[in-house]
């Protein structure tokens, strides 16, 4: 998620990154380049459009966008989502820039919760 630079303390509870999950990275990259002029660049194994959006090739039956929302405490937010009926698709884990989890609520879809490192 290095494409998003947030000054000082990250604005909490706001979308800070969008990530496209697709089964065909090449065609997805070509589509966004042809339609919007977005050129994907690979940095440390991650493809970024340089717009605050990234793209990941994975085993998915249908392409979808995953919003990342900054939270103060990824574990507490993940537990709260679970209490409200969400399923945890990815337990909180540390990455180079912060901690993240992914939850799914049947009524609202997938959501990545992201706690930036300070």
Mean pLDDT of 12-26: 93
Task: Please name which of 116, 117, 118, 86 lies closest in space to residue 102, comparing C-alpha atoms.
Answer: 86
DSSP state, 97? Answer: S
**Domain coordinates of the chain in residue numbers?**
14-65, 71-118
Determine contact, residues 75/50, Cβ cutoff 8 Å: no
Q: What is the pLDDT of residues 33-78, one digit of tens each?
A: 999 999 999 988 789 998 889 999 999 999 999 999 999 999 999 9
Give residues with Cβ within 8 angstroms of 96, minimum separation 6: 44
Looking at every residue in the chain, the average pLDDT score rounds to 89
Structure tokens at 44: 């440390």
What is the reported pLDDT for 10? 56
Lowest mean pLDDT among 3-12, 24-33, 62-71, 99-108: 3-12
CATH class of the domain whose range is 71-118: alpha beta
Q: Residue 67, class by beta-carbon neighbours within 10 Å (0-12 exposed, 13-18 middle, 19+ buried)?
A: middle
Q: What is the pLDDT of residues 75-89, one digit of tens each?
A: 999 999 999 999 999
């Amino acid at each position: 998620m290095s494409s998003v630079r947030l000054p000082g303390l990250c604005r909490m509870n706001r979308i800070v990154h969008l990530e496209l999950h697709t089964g065909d990275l090449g065609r997805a990259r070509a589509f966004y380049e042809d339609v919007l002029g977005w050129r994907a660049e690979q940095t440390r194994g991650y493809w970024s459009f340089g717009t605050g959006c990234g793209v990941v090739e994975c085993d998915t039956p249908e392409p979808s966008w995953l919003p990342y929302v900054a939270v103060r405490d990824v574990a507490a937010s993940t537990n709260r989502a679970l209490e409200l009926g969400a399923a945890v698709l990815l337990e909180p884990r540390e990455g180079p820039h912060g901690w993240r989890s992914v939850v799914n609520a049947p009524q609202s879809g997938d959501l990545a919760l992201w706690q930036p490192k300070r």
